[in-house]
Structure 1
Amino acid sequence: MKKIVILIFILLSINIFSQETINNNKLKLKFKNGINISFYETTKGKLRVTALSKDMKLKKNRFFINKEKSNVKIKKDGNRYILGKYIIEEIKNGYKVNLESNNKLLYSSVFSITKKGFLEIKNSYDKELFHGMGEANDKSSIIAKQFMIYQKAEYGNQAKLYIPFYFTTGGDAYYYNSNSKDIFKFGRRGSAVSKVYSKYGYLDYYYFYENSPKKIVSEFYKFSKSNSLIPKWAFGYLQSKYGYKNSEEVYNLIKKFKKYNIPVSGVILDLYWFKHMGDLDWDKDNWKDVAKLDRYLEENGVKLITISEPFFTVDSKSYKDFNKNGVFAKDKYGKTLKLSGWWCFGSEYGGIMNPIAKNSFDTIGNRYVQMRKTGIDGFWTDLGEPEGDPTEAYFNGYSEFEFHNYYNREWSKLIYKKMVKVFPNERPLILSRSGFTGSAKYNVSVWSGDSSSSYINFRKQIGIGINAGISGFSYWGSDVGGFLSDRKKPKKELFIRWMQFGTFVPVFRAHGSFSPREPWMYDDETTKLLKSYIDLRYQMLPYIYSTAYETYLNGVPMMRPLYLEYPKDNFAQKSSLQYFFGDFLMAAPVVRRIREKKEKEVYLPKGNWYDFYDLKKIVGGNKIKVKRDINKIPVYIKEGAILPFKDLILLFPAEKKSEFTLYNDDGISNNYLKGDYSKIKIILKKDSVEFEGIKKEMTFNLKIVKNGGVIKKVVELKKGDNKILFE
């Protein structure tokens, strides 16, 4: 049976119920202590709860998620109010909310007014664990942590990308229309208490229930409209550093990739591609023939991404035009706010752009259009928290405090919508350090920020990545090697481990500050090893791209915590150092030096598993010890796996049937939205495999791993359904 009783709200007073109002499918309850709470059921069956303190009027916020009320009329039955599938019942000190009759109390919520502001406290009666809160959380579950919802970058650590969304192991999920600096506190292990403080004097959130974490996450993607499909080339290997300074360095870079026969899909240019911060244009002194460079890159199958920031110096090419058109932030008197700081690079002053200004779509957007026309294929939006913007800034009447968390999302929205309008059949890519709920719908991929090149920060990346994924950001990566390494190359062993990890995450980019990050920067033996992993990445692209399509279609993240696949496994609930990459691969990165420990413990959930490298079968249900081999990252294949690689399809039959959708399209256009794609459903059974959706003759190399042996088959499939029996 489902868990039924969801919430009980207590208003910290006795007999305080004062007044009820039922209007337009919405229930409002007013209490003598001044707290007012309203409820309605949305058209998608979620419960919206809004609580206001005394004399507080809810300020309309255009950036909040506002879901329409359902058409279901509210009914009153004695001391109960029926809102669709929710039942609100008056009790001595307030009211409770049920889905259907059940005596088990699972959650209670208390609203009160404190010195810190408006407070809500939720208590778990089943000692459930909490999960979520965005890229700010670096553990699988949330235990004894506090989050202040205010996007920021911690130099040398990580970017804090907060998403005010969390859910419990019991299936309850909450999304808050949060304001800047709302505080979320979570209790210790075994005492699952959450507290939410708001200085604004009100709280506004949605509640919904699903019977599995995967369904919760999938539903959140739909709720927040976080589904998108970025270009296929973005899943290849992306080479970056701070930074390549001129055309010749890029030519030489590509020549080296060709020399070592290492594939590369994108080159990323940091600050040196322009002369002044805010130019949004090439420094022609160092980048003399950009059209020629673009042709060279395209001929070699390499895309170009360039950085831009929200700051514009007074001597930049854009400043006068932007100022004239009013697309900079203002001061309280309505004048362009003048800024100074490290990003000015010696200039006298500058401004910070306002992505929601009246003329921003054309004035700012046209600059990005011109960038695209010079051959720039993707946009790297940095410092977009925004980092270091002054508190006295105003954006269309919103103070910096009010607009801060939404800044980067609106910047991404501007770029994306402009690109789609001017280049309707091109699929944009935005690489961003920040964002907010729903940013991902604008083809945004995030990374974890300017981390240091250390094992401590490397270990954090796993938890950061899986929490980004469950919070709406499936397309995620980290600076392979760590951004800060004291202007030296990262330690060789650490770089190898980070590259191995990068092979098995959604977006694979090496990046660093004032030191090399290329795969040949050590010795020939290391180059050969790193090449093998980059080659492996390209072999896995059919599996990776199909997994990205699953994010687009169903809202299931590419990089997943173990508990999404094993929700009832206690170890999986708490595991922060292992994760699933797609449906069938489980990775356990080596996050310590070999000299510290010769072996690594890996947990295999119940069932049969196969070693990724030698395909040996292993019985799960416990921990195993694995030798720390510098040549390998521990990866395991789940029984029932269907792994479409570039040159073959690996099949691992199980007693129960399994399925996988092999998806493909041209990878760069929006024709897939019109149905121009290939989608082949592969159904694996104990003794056979079936292919549905074959539209033309195709040949597949099958490798079937079964009963300790390997069967190899070359099959030619014709239009229609095809069933292949195993020998």
Structure 2
Amino acid sequence: MKFKDGYWRLRPGVRADYAAAAHDVTAEAGSLRILAPARPITHRGYTIDGPVLRVDLSSPMPDVIRVRTVHFAGSVPGAPVFEVRDDAPDVDLAVDAEQAVLTSGALTVRVRRDAPWEMTFSAGGRELTRSAGKSLGAMRDPGDRHFMVEQLGLAAGELVYGLGERFGPLVRNGQSVDIWNEDGGTSSDVAYKNIPFYLTNRGYGVFVNHPGRVSFEVGSESVSRVQFSAEGHDLEYLVIHGPTPKDILRRYTALTGRPALPPAWSFGLWLSTSFTTDYDEATVASFVDGMAERDVPLSVFHFDCFWMRRYRWCDFEWDPEVFPDPEGMIRRLKERGLRVCLWINPYIGQASALFDEGATAGHLLRRPDGTVWQDDHWQAGRALVDFTSPAAREWYAGKLRGLLDMGVDAFKTDFGERIPTDVAYADGADPERMHNYYTLLYNETVHRVLAERGAPVLFARSATVGGQRLPVHWGGDCESTFEAMAESLRGGLSLGLAGFGFWSHDIGGFEGRPDPAVFKRWVAFGLLSSHSRLHGSSSYRVPWLFDEESVDVLRSFTRLKARLMPYLYGAAVEAAAEGLPMMRAMQLEFPGDRGCDHLDAQYMLGPDLLVAPVMSADGDISYYVPGGTWTRLLDGETVSGPGWRTERHGFGSLPLLVRPGAVLATGAREDRPDYDYADGVTLNAYHLADGARRTVTVPSPDGGAGAVFEVSRTGDRVSARRVAGAPVRWSLRLHGGPQTSDGPRVTAEPGTDDIEITL
């Protein structure tokens, strides 16, 4: 929200009470409490009348400083609140006549005691950002609504990233962003997954710990500041020191939660019935048979909305006319090695038998007058499950357990964005703050039910802070165009910069029927994403309906992903352990390369693979290569950086480059994503520098360490040894240097611990 008219004046009807000075400072156990009046106090009479802001400074973990500002403490809602880790670490406090100082780890905040107000954050003797005069304050708009606001400075050349899923340019500077979940597709400034967290290329991040609407003006009201504001009487934010972008994400996800590790089978190809298409068990069988006949590995079959009867979403009952034997159908799919996913949402249509059941038991969200909240959006007379009620959560979970008993493995948790605010929750939660938070309770409920049966995985659309703990998320309803493909990628990279480790999208696009060229280009992008799903709205996504080349492209990239699973699942384990996304914006991996700062049409898949999806029918693409000699994975040719390249690729190709010095583990199977990755693994060493030493952990499909290898180069010798894990057959292959692109290869039989190749 913008409060000013230009730089000097407030907008008509706006009243601002800014912190003017730290007049009163109290050092308490591990914290500072500051009283900051809205005018300098030059004599005792000025302490009478006028607003005073209370500013509390503390630290929940080393290198993180919490700032909480309150105007009227009696007007602060109690729920909901985000779960944020608080270790209460040791901090250093110092207060004198000139300043108050709190230091946590390498991060320090200094508050000047006299006017004007100044609160500075620094690390390593370097200022990161500051709250200066007319930055921190309490505001009233022309309608007498109360807001809290803060502005943190931006240095020259400082770039801002994050704020959740955003489909515009990756760099947020100049943008206005409202943290408010909406079902708006991928072509506007609204989003399904809004996260009040950003990070900058100056070595810090900021998490605004507020579950409701937070408005960000990123260099868009004051061009040298990030402003954030929220309605109400309190505002809490945490400054997170890096210094690298990866360090910032590690600390942010340590605070708010790291992703669960999805099961290995979920990384294979998912195929859907699509949405409004006509389908029954015969259709499903024809799709599964068609993929098998064409030798395209398939891992998951997804049933979208019409597995249930029309008007009755959700009643969790199979449509008996379309699927007369659901248990038998699921058993038959399982016998073919497939997993099964079902579409659900948190709404209960009035025609559902669960409507009366839920209303009678008090499980449905109500209006303040006690009546059930209803509208006709999506399903006639729909109501919402009140997930603030433990009884309602258990009721909803019980319905899902019946489906799991049939053999269902996963749920697509659709919707959760259009949550009303003219309601009364069972636990008394503030409706405005519940709008975004609702999706967290919804997805937590489903995730916990799945976790009762083993490693859980969702296919979720909406999210807020903490939602990263409940993977996987997909990008929502996009068009079937190259432009929408680019929008989706920008949304996924931005979401990754908000701590979400796993992300997917509808291959080919959702709305409309993609041109065969769009479909084939999107297939390559989709199979080089963390999760890969064929899904559409009113048309099927089986490849033979486009052309025969589409079948070849899908087969090729599905098999490639399976071979890459030792590397990819290692990146997934890292995402779960450290909070780093599998699909990484280039700036995250190369923060010192200014050529990467604005890149949003390419990404790193894990730490060592550069992917540049082709978004044109003719195959022309320009992409950026960071410094060093990179190797094209698909043909072994080398590419040197730093610099831009322009190439033309056929439908079976795209820029897919291996990082210099990488040791890429590839597997012995290409027919499925879940196999013993260590058995028959090949360690592909690319342009190892003299003196280099790399440790490669090849995970097991359950996320453990299946085998650990060490690869090093000394002079003209490259050696590898198995340092942990059971004896397996494994190989070392060299790429780069005077060798051919395929490189010399030596294979070790089980029990062999060392391999050496001479250049």
Residue of structure 2 equivalent to 1:695: 725
Alpha-carbon distance, 1:309 to partner? 1.2
Deviations 1:435-494 (A, max 9, x none): 11111223x211111111122211112221111112121110111111101xxx311111
Residue of structure 2 equivalent to 1:434: 462
Residue of structure 2 equivalent to 1:113: 138
2:492 maps to 1:465: yes
2:709 maps to 1:663: no
Moved more, 69-78 or 598-607: 69-78
Q: 1:417 to 1:160 in 2, by over 3 A?
A: closer
List aligned pairs for 1:144-543, cutoff 5 A: 144-155=174-185, 157=187, 159-187=191-219, 191-240=223-272, 241-242=274-275, 243=277, 245-275=279-309, 276-337=312-373, 339-344=374-379, 347=380, 349-385=381-417, 387=418, 389=420, 391-392=422-423, 394-420=425-451, 422-423=452-453, 426-442=454-470, 444-485=471-512, 489-543=513-567
2:35 maps to 1:30: yes
Q: Counterpart of 2:136 in structure 1: which amino acid?
A: F
How many Å separate the matches in 2 of 1:225 and 1:55? Answer: 28
2:578 maps to 1:559: no
Deviations 1:653-681 (A, max 9, x none): 321625353333344xxxx5xxx651424
Alpha-carbon distance, 1:49 to partner? 0.1
Residue of structure 2 equivalent to 1:632: 653
Q: Counterpart of 1:27 in structure 2: which amino acid?
A: L
Deviations 1:624-645 (A, max 9, x none): 2212433322111111122222
Q: Counterpart of 2:361 in structure 1: which amino acid?
A: N
How many Å separate the matches in 2 of 1:178 and 1:15? Answer: 24
Unaligned segments of structure 1, at least 5 residues: 1-10
How many Å separate the matches in 2 of 1:302 and 1:657? Answer: 42
Q: 1:294 to 1:23 in 2, by over 3 A?
A: same
How many Å separate the matches in 1 of 2:158 and 2:76? Answer: 32
Q: 1:335 to 1:15 in 2, by over 3 A?
A: closer
Q: Counterpart of 1:364 in structure 2: which amino acid?
A: Y
How many Å separate the matches in 1 of 2:707 and 2:170? Answer: 33
Are the aligned partners of 2:25 and 2:35 in contact in 1 as well (CA < 8 Å)? yes
Are the aligned partners of 2:18 and 2:138 in contact in 1 as well (CA < 8 Å)? no
Q: Counterpart of 2:508 in structure 1: which amino acid?
A: G
Alpha-carbon distance, 1:101 to partner? 8.2
Are the aligned partners of 2:506 and 2:533 in contact in 1 as well (CA < 8 Å)? yes
2:49 maps to 1:39: no
Deviations 1:134-188 (A, max 9, x none): 1125433212111111111214637431111111111011101124222001126
Deviations 1:105-143 (A, max 9, x none): 853441133344322122223331111111125433212
Are the aligned partners of 2:627 and 2:640 in contact in 1 as well (CA < 8 Å)? yes
Q: 1:43 to 1:474 in 2, by over 3 A?
A: closer
Residue of structure 1 equivalent to 2:606: 582
Are the aligned partners of 2:131 and 2:150 in contact in 1 as well (CA < 8 Å)? no
Relative to the length of structure 1, the TM-score reads 0.90
How many Å separate the matches in 2 of 1:620 and 1:495? Answer: 30
Are the aligned partners of 1:698 and 1:717 in contact in 2 as well (CA < 8 Å)? yes
Q: Report the secondary structure of 2:596's partner residue.
A: helix
Q: 1:578 to 1:188 in 2, by over 3 A?
A: farther
| 1:704 aligns with one of 726, 730, 734 | 734
Residue of structure 2 equivalent to 1:6: none
Q: Counterpart of 2:642 in structure 1: which amino acid?
A: G
Alpha-carbon distance, 1:281 to partner? 2.5
Residue of structure 2 equivalent to 1:7: none
Alpha-carbon distance, 1:363 to partner? 0.9
Q: Report the secondary structure of 1:533's partner residue.
A: helix
Deviations 1:217-255 (A, max 9, x none): 222222211232001111111112115632222122111
Alpha-carbon distance, 1:63 to partner? 2.4
Q: Report the secondary structure of 2:480's partner residue.
A: coil
Moved more, 297-306 or 391-400: 391-400
Residue of structure 2 equivalent to 1:3: none
Q: Counterpart of 1:26 in structure 2: which amino acid?
A: S
Are the aligned partners of 1:143 and 1:189 in contact in 2 as well (CA < 8 Å)? no
2:724 maps to 1:724: no
How many Å separate the matches in 2 of 1:100 and 1:532? Answer: 49
Task: Give RMSD over aligned pairs.
Answer: 2.6
Q: Counterpart of 2:469 in structure 1: which amino acid?
A: K
Q: 1:104 to 1:49 in 2, by over 3 A?
A: closer
Q: 1:649 to 1:160 in 2, by over 3 A?
A: same
Residue of structure 1 equivalent to 2:116: 93
2:680 maps to 1:644: no
Residue of structure 2 equivalent to 1:619: 640
| 2:568 aligns with one of 525, 544, 553 | 544
Unaligned segments of structure 2, at least 5 residues: 1-15, 39-51, 142-146, 669-681
Are the aligned partners of 1:699 and 1:714 in contact in 2 as well (CA < 8 Å)? no
Q: Counterpart of 2:708 in structure 1: which amino acid?
A: I
Q: Report the secondary structure of 1:431's partner residue.
A: coil
Residue of structure 1 equivalent to 2:24: 19
Q: Report the secondary structure of 1:197's partner residue.
A: strand
Moved more, 66-75 or 303-312: 66-75
Are the aligned partners of 2:181 and 2:192 in contact in 1 as well (CA < 8 Å)? yes
How many Å separate the matches in 1 of 2:19 and 2:526? Answer: 57
How many Å separate the matches in 2 of 1:250 and 1:200? Answer: 52
Q: Counterpart of 2:665 in structure 1: which amino acid?
A: P
Are the aligned partners of 2:461 and 2:476 in contact in 1 as well (CA < 8 Å)? yes
Residue of structure 1 equivalent to 2:12: none
How many Å separate the matches in 2 of 1:94 and 1:624? Answer: 49
Q: 1:94 to 1:192 in 2, by over 3 A?
A: closer
Q: Counterpart of 2:464 in structure 1: which amino acid?
A: F
Q: Counterpart of 2:32 in structure 1: which amino acid?
A: L
Q: Report the secondary structure of 1:621's partner residue.
A: strand
Are the aligned partners of 2:34 and 2:56 in contact in 1 as well (CA < 8 Å)? yes
Are the aligned partners of 1:226 and 1:439 in contact in 2 as well (CA < 8 Å)? no
How many Å separate the matches in 2 of 1:681 and 1:472? Answer: 29
Q: Counterpart of 1:664 in structure 2: which amino acid?
A: P
2:86 maps to 1:81: no
Percentage of matched positions with identical amino acids: 20
How many Å separate the matches in 1 of 2:725 and 2:22? Answer: 65
Report how many residues are paired.
695
Q: 1:54 to 1:367 in 2, by over 3 A?
A: closer
Are the aligned partners of 1:361 and 1:418 in contact in 2 as well (CA < 8 Å)? no
How many Å separate the matches in 2 of 1:154 and 1:569? Answer: 34
Q: 1:15 to 1:490 in 2, by over 3 A?
A: closer
Are the aligned partners of 2:118 and 2:130 in contact in 1 as well (CA < 8 Å)? no
